[in-house]
């Protein structure tokens, strides 16, 4: 409840136009947190420009459709992540205008967010990391940012990464995706000044432990300046990158 | 080697004031790969304004002193992290003008970086997390940023965090430090729009597994928008936050 | 039963001052092994009102049917948990009157337990947690309790949980179900006074490690007052909640 | 803020004895979220009768003293847990009337909570588990409950536990403490109808992994009806047991 | 090379019917280590009466058939373990006289080992553990021992185990099989004097971690006197039990 | 004892065909709880000849002394394991006739168990494993068995082990102790027919993970016939070996 | 950029035949790292004779084909590893002259590398390890080396390995492949002087943890002289062996 | 038993100067394996030139001295690894001519091995890794090889490593030592053709898990051609490198 609203209510009590009991009811009835926290929530949407995404795994088909439709109706946009190809067609058929990216496993519906003019780069170590990298890239594009893709620049072919460095320096944030030894983000963080969002992938086998090895490499990076997200979490990387890009310039305002 | 310096060198060769051999020596003195890569490195310093920090653990006393002195001589500044109190006095005695913060376990020497005008917030869940939180805060101050501290705002006392929200919204980046269940950064990421740098601490016992539980909580945060650093890595959080703050506005330039 | 007491009892039978039947009753009432332990078991059933549930996984179809029929015959009721939908139809066809809840994966047969008048609440963080939450809720209803469901109240949408708080305060026990970061039970325990039964779910991916991250969060909860059960163990949560509700009032008896 | 206090404040505004601005100030003085959430917090204290306990580890001596004094001043009572004997004397010397239990490593100050009339039992598997068991027992006594202790009743000496069963059946809740194989709580849950709070301890060696083996045993208990807390967390077990005992009877109220 | 064969060879050299060089060749032809170690190996077969078993998993169909046939030809007996039902029929069809036990997943061919007169007991905690328990029981029977089966005697129904104790006391070794909390072998070891072979099974879910919880329970058993084998390793348990039974009496020989 | 049997017995007492004393004897011989379980326990002592050992770690000095004295008084013998040298002198001073073995960290008091005539072998891989190996050997000697020690026969010096094989074949059971790669027990099990008790030790570093690597090696032994005990658990190995030796011959009795 | 090239460029500037700006452009235009590092990369190919292999898992069919064709066109040879049989036929059909080894899961195309005259040995513990062993052997043959295979020489049948020792001594490097307890490489390293490349396999079950047990055994080998590669990584073992064989003799050059 | 000795024995049997029974006794009496395997062992020493090293940890002082003296007497040389400085002085005082390297924690006694003419390189990522790196370097020098040290060339300062590449190319083997993210060996393997021995160190904190993160990085290296040893195992790396260097050229012999 905003202070002005509260002041007005109290004034009405003082003026006798509202009884103490009615005021009490109004205050008690307004689930205090509800009022306040829901407002916070609206703030969050207004400021970040991001309605909640729908996680496409582990939901029953009917639940997923209902949630997607509700989300689309509420915000005019829909972003479904980790949506398996075999489920995508059926869902898209029920959502007019939906677009599905099979490599990124991302479904979007409605108009993309307006262009921000900001620039992100997404780098990936190997071909097998492309799914996760594209999830990040597709989401960042959907959020309105320009995305430079530089894939297959893993540490075993160092020159390919070094070639990409000038391009990476133009980006306000770099999403670095790698499985197996997960060394790429560290290397990137040592070569550029932008913040690096590190995404381990489950690519690999044996002691890769489905991404754990890559994750630990990133958390123990000798070069500081990177933040790590969950294994295979391209979407989470995109949201963090979006927040970084979005707040750029905000604090410079008078 | 900066472009201007190279241009000047070449001009002197063209003008005859520098022989090709002398120029070669100057260039050759920078070993081949070194030429390029060293340049990168200077770029890195110029752009991020951060000379390398010295990690105070696991080094012998004589090694630590030698490295600290060399770093100080080279860049005019020195930042030593994770320096145990019992070793700090002896080191500081050999480094005129050094300052040691016992809670943050950070030693600095030389002038702080110039003020950036940017604002960071550091929040911590409990009193036992203060050491790590202060490591981040002291470093961020040293890097030239304004730092708002909000400690003891853990999830068990929700109102204390909610009280802090308006203040947190003024920050361009938020460093959230928590041990035990590590839920604070998730909560913060759900309440503000700024990027959140999540720092798990080794505070706790039993199944806390020296910070592993907190780390996993942060990596699996329901609220996207946070990047995680290593357990107890206050310095790493500060560098990532610095990169985020520093690049703010850069891309808005014409 | 001590030897002396037993000797005395036998002497009374020999002396005719105690009939064999009365002695039998006395003995049946006491010894706690053979007899004794079986009796304990009857005590357990009588007091908790809960015949043993049948775990539906890892059993062959013929074993499962035989056990279910025997259980039903013995106690007049049957509760099968973790029964996959593809096996449920065949089993139900052999058990007249059986009911199967596909979301909870629970099959029941026979009359529900009589109403207790007690009230439990089941809260769940996300839509993907519904299966486990429903397992708990369906079992609690089957045990005779009133169950208030509050789903999709995860930490990322704090106001939704805060809205539910007044309702949660009416419950004698709260079952809180969450996957991913598993922060919901901690939050609930900080907001209400009732005991909280925390259920981690295997919902998530990567470092969620099939529920391990959520489990650790709950075990390290900053807010005390919660007890944790196995990952995805909605049934176990229901039994613990049932015990808590059931003993309410028992100790107040004269 | 309690409803009665709010009603009174509004009545004073209606009666003209308090100006709207003064009322606003009084309300505003409680920061917005604070208003609601602080109220919750007071509710929590009023209902559970438990001011926050102070965790004695990982805090600097001066921090610990300051927090203890503040807590004592605020609530009239103080409970410090996991306080090492070597630190206890110094702290107690600064807190008039403080009592320290060396085995439980618990310091209390101020009057115990009023007697509840409820009864808890604390059982422990071995002599080495006594510290944790006493932490639970001392806290439960401090919370006002009658505590029956039954120690050294581990699974290797089954008859000792069976002997204790009649006594355990009198308790509204049972706290079962065990290290090594951690089988005791399972056994207890199979023998009594009361809810069981299971506490793994770090007692053991090798594959005990500092309590992990015991923890896993408890989480996988064949006998349902127990809730698990963190390794060595006697205090947490006591709070959960307190909540269970405390809510007993509450729901029977008209 | 058996001693008699060596003695005969030397006799032929002494008798001049074999030249030293021919004898040398014969001996040299048996690679030195082979001579000795192959003898050891024969000793092993003679003494333990157990030809090598064939592990049925992870082999290609053609490899499995070839190995089975060779083993059968060499020793006149064949024991294949962990043979999936869907592969068993095809294999059995190529091995005249083969018998397949679907629950134990064991295929045998040729005559069983002669009766030892020794007695083993196999106990299992739950119905889902039957496959592993039967693997042990079927193998022990195949090895010639009398096997008493006592299944479904888990810790949650203590009286069922106690009922079985007199019977268990007749056995020279007890194989105790349990998943989930894995407490059964500990309990058995506390009740009988015979050595206990503990077999954790992968039965359970969540923090059972496919048998790890049960394994740790057994390794940390409060009651000494048990030895643990790999998860689900019914065959290994049977071989250890066989060795224990077989050496009984051997050392009493003059 | 089934109710019918009990009823019949009581009827016979009432009819005078069975005296109360005879009935008492029959019942005392049977009930297996209170009575029953305590009797079981006596059976256990009588049959295994092993009073409970006292675990020397994690107990306070006064607790340890009290338990040791009580145990000594009760059984006339005392065995304390894992007793640190710095605590042993003080304890021994209070226990007349106590003997302490510093390498095995074992204290004994009272007469050793009578000689069994059975023979055990204890083998150890390296010098650093001697402490654990001696714990097993000293306990086995204390239990009355002849113990052959063969230390420093690790897999890297294969001939040393092969040399020992003839000697190992004389033993009814072999305790094989190894840290680091833990391969010794597997090798032994492949060379002899006796049951092998495998004891991993915490000797090693890095990925030895304090004995975990050795433990896993033993659990996954290619050669069947071994049972594994907890890391560093020399005492547990000795009890298992004792049970194996002790039951040898028992089943051959008429 | 080689020194001579740089000297020439500077000479042209001094001679006026190249303007400073043109020289600057040449230097700036030569992506320093690109030029230099790409050259390094060519060095790597020239010296090791190994074009990059294609990892066959986790790539989409179209990606795999494109990469394979490009690789074949670039180097005239193609090596695809971990290619599942069900995908191999389709790929081979598009690559004229391709050969697929179903056991090794390796596809090659183009002429093998020229014969080196060097000799490697590949030993494997069991039949189930053959796939990984053949991956190593097929690759080593493809690299031009003579390969001696000795399979099924696991630690349980010691004499089979000892038989093979003379043969193993002829090899310049030994690749030792083992699952389950993983003891084979240690044993080999204790018997021969050549470097041993140890390959753990995921063969086994339960506590084998998909190769982790074998890996730890190898890393903790008592016998030094072995280097470990990832679980199931036959290809990596082959490349390391190739490097060892290839550099043999190189340093003896004048 | 050498062929000549066997031939002579057989000749004596043929000549009648030795009875078949005496020959049998001689053959049987010579513990075949003993004779043979000990010979192997001598072969091992002769061929690798490396007497066994003494592991300095976990041994009692008197054991360590006895073993060291025996080893020195037997082979004329002594190498003790992982010897803590506080124990080194006392040991050295008893071993005339001993040399102790405090950083490497290595004690040597007797003449170094003769110079091999081969060249190894040891690279280390950071200053804190020097102890392990020096252990490898000191051992390699002791084994007679020329050692080039390149320390502090971690991935965060890429140019320092690239500078060292030409030097690394002269080495027949490269030992690469790194803690934290452990990326250095991968990088090295991508830049040179020699085999790389990767040594993870326990340097780091938090999720470094005492070297586990570095180990996993190395095992999952994208660039093939490296073999990994145990964490902190500088000595093991040196022995593997020695084997590689030593066998270089051996196979080229006629």
Contact D155 E183 (CB under 8 A): yes
Residue A238 is predicted with a pLDDT of 97
pLDDT band for position G138 (50/70/90)? very high
pLDDT band at E164 (very low <50, low <70, confident <90, very high): confident
Tokens of E53: 């078993």
Q: Which chains touch G (3 or more CB pairs under 8 A)?
A: A, B, E, F, H
Say if the Cβ atoms of F59 and D127 lie within 8 Å: yes
Span B112-154, pLDDT tens digits: 988 888 999 999 998 889 999 999 999 999 999 999 999 888 7
Sign for the CA dihedral angle at G74, G77, G82, G88 comes to: positive
Q: Is the pLDDT of residue D2 over 90?
A: no
Q: Which two tokens stand for residue D172?
A: 């509204």
Name which residue leads in pLDDT, D46 or C56. C56
Could you give the CA distance from residue C15 to residue C12 in angstroms, rounded to a whole number?
A: 5
Question: Has residue D41 got a pLDDT over 70?
Answer: no
Give C 181-220 residues with CB within 8 A of chain B.
181-183, 186-187, 190-191, 204, 206-209, 212-214, 216-220
What number is the average pLDDT over the span G25-54? 46
B209 to chain D, closest Cα gap in Å: 10
Q: What is the pLDDT of residue D106?
A: 97
Contacts across the D-F interface (CB distance below 8 Å): 48
Mean pLDDT of E237-242: 96
> G183: distance to nearest CA of chain E, Å?
16
CA distance H7 to chain E (A): 6
Q: What is the DSSP letter of E95?
A: S
For chains A and C, CB pairs below 8 A equal 54
Span of A82-86, F45-49, G35-39, G160-164 with lowest mean pLDDT = G35-39
pLDDT recorded at residue B24: 61
**How far does E237 lie from chain F, in Å, by closest CA?**
8
Q: What is the mean pLDDT of residues E125-150?
A: 94
Give the closest of D155, D207, D217 to E223, CB-based.
Answer: D155
G219 close to F213: Cβ distance less than 8 angstroms: yes
* Contact across the interface for E220 and D180, Cβ inside 8 Å: yes
User: If you average pLDDT over residues G120-145, what whole number do you get?
Assistant: 95
Fill in the DSSP letter of residue G172: S
Q: Which residue of E has its CA nearest to C211?
A: E206
- In this complex, do F233 and D157 lie within 8 Å of one another by their Cβ atoms? no
pLDDT, mean of residues G35-45: 33
Q: How far is E199 from chain C (nearest CA, A)?
A: 17
Confidence at residue B36, expressed as pLDDT on a 0 to 100 scale = 28
Strands F54-55 and F78-81: what pairing?
A: parallel
| pLDDT tens readout for residues B186-207 | 999 988 889 999 999 999 999 9
* Out of D12-26, E73-87, H199-213, least confident range: D12-26
All chains having 3 or more CB pairs closer than 8 angstroms to chain C: A, B, D, E, F
Q: Which two tokens stand for residue F47?
A: 């049959």
Alpha helices (H) in chain E, listed in sequence order: 3-14, 20-29, 32-48, 61-75, 85-93, 130-142, 158-168, 184-191, 212-219, 234-247
Residue B253 pLDDT: 31
Read off the pLDDT of residues G89-128 as tens digits, 9 standing for 90 and up.
999 999 999 999 999 999 999 999 888 889 999 999 988 8
Task: Tell me whether residues A233 and C157 touch, CB distance under 8 A.
Answer: no
**What is the band of B26 on the pLDDT scale with cuts at 50, 70, 90?**
low
Question: Rounded to an integer, what distance in angstroms lies between the CA atom of residue A47 and that of residue B193?
Answer: 6
Residue from the list H36, H41, H57 with its beta carbon closest to the beta carbon of F157? H41
pLDDT over 90 (residue C4): no
Does the structure show a pLDDT above 90 at D210?
yes
Partner residue facing A159 (CB), from G41, G52, G55: G41
Residue D161 pLDDT more than 90?
no
Q: Which residue has the higher pLDDT, G247 or C93?
A: C93
Q: What is the mean pLDDT of chain A?
A: 83
CB contact under 8 A, B34 and H206: no
How far apart CA F47 and CA E98 sit, in angstroms, is: 42
ipTM: 0.82
Q: What are phi and psi of H146, to 5 degrees?
A: -80, 135
Choice between C250 and B215, residue whose per-residue pLDDT is larger: B215
pLDDT for the residue D28: 39
E2, pLDDT greater than 70: no
Confidence band for D245, pLDDT divided at 50, 70 and 90: very high
Strand partners, A120: A147, A173
Q: What's chain E's average pLDDT? A: 83
Query: Which of E68, E75, E239, E66 lies closest to F223 in space, CA to CA?
Result: E239
Strands H119-124 and H106-109: unpaired
Token couple for F242: 């004792």
CA angle H201/H206/H211 to nearest 5° reads 20
- With residue H136 as reference, give the H or E element that holds it: helix H130-142
Chain G nearest-CA distance from H170, in A, is 8
* Best of F36, F142, F244 to mutate (most E CBs within 10 Å, chain E): F244
CB E162 within 8 A of CB E134: no
Predicted confidence at residue F194, as pLDDT, reads 92
Other beta carbons within 10 angstroms of residue E243's beta carbon come to 27
Instruction: Please judge whether H247 and G173 are an interchain contact, meaning their C-beta atoms are less than 8 angstroms apart.
Output: yes
The nearest alpha carbon in chain C to F9 belongs to C20
Give pLDDT, residue F31: 33
Please compute the mean of the pLDDT values over residues B54-80 and round it to a whole number: 88
Count how many pairs of residues, chain E against chain G, have C-beta atoms within 8 Å. Answer: 52
What whole-number distance in Å separates Cα of residue E199 and Cα of residue G205?
13
- C178 touches C189 (CB < 8 A): no
Helix or strand or coil: residue E228? strand
Order the strands of the D146-150 sheet from edge to edge: C146-150, C119-124, C173-178, C196-200, C226-228, D226-228, D196-200, D173-178, D119-124, D146-150
Using CB atoms, pick whichever of E14, E20, E37 lies closest to residue H20: E14
Instruction: Name the residue of chain D whose CA is nearest to F56's CA.
Output: D128
**Which tokens go with D142?**
């401090």
Maximum pairwise Cα distance, chain D: 74
Neighbours of chain F (3+ CB pairs under 8 A): C, D, E, G, H
Closest Cα in chain F to D158: F37
pLDDT (mean) for A144-169: 84
Q: What is the pLDDT of residue B46?
A: 45
Out of A19-23, A246-250, B52-56, D4-8, give the one with best mean pLDDT.
B52-56
Asked if F227's CB is within 8 angstroms of E220's CB, the reply is no
Tell me: pLDDT of E135 over 60: yes
- Residue of H244, H245, H250 for testing the chain G interface, max G β-carbons within 10 Å: H244
- At residue F24, the pLDDT reads 62
Nearest to H33 among F127, F163, F208 (CB): F163
Q: Does B163 touch chain D (CB under 8 A)?
A: yes
Range with the largest mean pLDDT of A203-212, C28-37, E41-50:
A203-212
Tell me how far apart the alpha carbons of residues D67 and H167 are, in angstroms, rounded to a whole number: 60
What is the per-residue pLDDT across B163-186, written as a single tens digit (0 to 9) for each? Answer: 788 889 899 999 999 999 999 999
Which chains are adjacent to chain A, needing at least 3 Cβ pairs under 8 Å? B, C, D, G, H
pTM recorded for the entire structure: 0.86
User: Whole-angstrom Cα distance, residue A213 to residue H214?
Assistant: 9
- The continuous run of DSSP H or E covering A66 comes out as helix A61-75
Q: How far is CA C90 from the centre of its chain?
A: 25
Q: For residues G22 and E176, which has the higher predicted lDDT (pLDDT)?
A: E176
Q: In which residue ranges of chain F is pLDDT below 50?
A: 1-3, 28-47, 249-254
**What is the Cα–Cα distance from C60 to B54, expressed in whole angstroms?**
62
Residue of E nearest to F235 (CA): E224
The mean predicted confidence, pLDDT, of chain C is 83
Query: Which chain F residues contact residue E231 at CB under 8 A?
Result: 219
G213/F207 touch (CB, cutoff 8 Å), yes or no: no
CA pair distance E62, F147, nearest whole angstrom: 48
Position C130 scores a pLDDT of 92
Cα A178 to chain centroid, rounded: 18
Q: Do chains G and C touch (3 or more CB pairs under 8 A)?
A: no
Position B216 confidence tier, pLDDT thresholds 50, 70, 90 = very high
Best of E4, E22, E30, E36 to mutate (most H CBs within 10 Å, chain H): E36
CA angle A189, A195, A198 (to 5 degrees): 65
* CA F17 – CA G215 distance, rounded (Å): 72
Cα distance between residue C177 and residue C232, in whole Å: 9
The confidence score (pLDDT) of residue E28 equals 40
Chain D, 233 to 252: residues with Cβ < 8 Å from chain C are 235-236, 239-240, 243-252
pLDDT at E27: 55
pLDDT computed for residue B3 by the predictor: 47
pLDDT higher than threshold 90 for residue G141: yes
Asked whether the beta carbons of residue H127 and residue B31 sit closer than 8 angstroms, the reply is: no
Q: How many CB atoms lie within 10 A of CB H3?
A: 11
Mean pLDDT of C19-32: 56
Model pLDDT, residue H131 = 95
Q: At E227, phi and psi to the nearest 5?
A: -120, 140
The DSSP secondary-structure symbol of B156 reads G
CB-CB under 8 Å, E63 with G206: no
Q: Is there a contact between F210 and D206 if contact means CB atoms under 8 Å apart?
A: yes
When scoring E230, E233, E237 by the number of chain G Cβ atoms within 10 A, the one with the most, hence best to mutate, is E230
Do chains B and E meet with 3 or more Cβ pairs nearer than 8 Å? no
């Amino acid at each position: 409840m905003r202070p002005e609203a509260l002041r007005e209510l109290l004034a009405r009590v003082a003026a006798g136009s509202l009884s103490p009991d009615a005021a009490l009811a109004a205050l008690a009835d307004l689930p205090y947190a509800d009022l306040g926290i829901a407002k916070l929530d609206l703030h969050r949407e207004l400021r970040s420009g991001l309605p909640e995404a729908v996680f496409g795994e582990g939901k029953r088909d009917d639940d997923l459709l209902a949630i997607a439709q509700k989300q689309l109706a509420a915000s005019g946009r829909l972003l479904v992540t980790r949506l398996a190809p075999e489920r995508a067609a059926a869902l898209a058929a029920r959502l007019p205008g939906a677009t599905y990216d099979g490599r990124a496993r991302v479904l979007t519906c409605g108009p993309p967010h307006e262009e921000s003019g900001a620039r992100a780069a997404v780098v990936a170590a190997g071909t097998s990391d492309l799914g996760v990298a594209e999830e990040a890239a597709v989401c960042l594009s959907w959020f309105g940012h320009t995305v430079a893709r530089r894939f297959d620049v893993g540490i075993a072919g160092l020159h390919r990464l070094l070639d990409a460095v000038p391009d990476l320096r133009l980006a306000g944030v770099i999403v670095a995706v790698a499985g197996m030894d997960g060394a790429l983000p560290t290397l990137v963080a040592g070569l550029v000044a932008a913040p690096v969002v590190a995404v381990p992938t489950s690519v690999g086998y044996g002691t890769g432990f489905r991404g754990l090895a890559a994750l630990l490499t990133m958390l123990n990076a000798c070069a500081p300046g990177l933040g790590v997200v969950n294994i295979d979490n391209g979407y989470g990387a995109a949201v963090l990158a979006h927040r970084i890009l979005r707040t750029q310039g905000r604090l410079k305002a008078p």
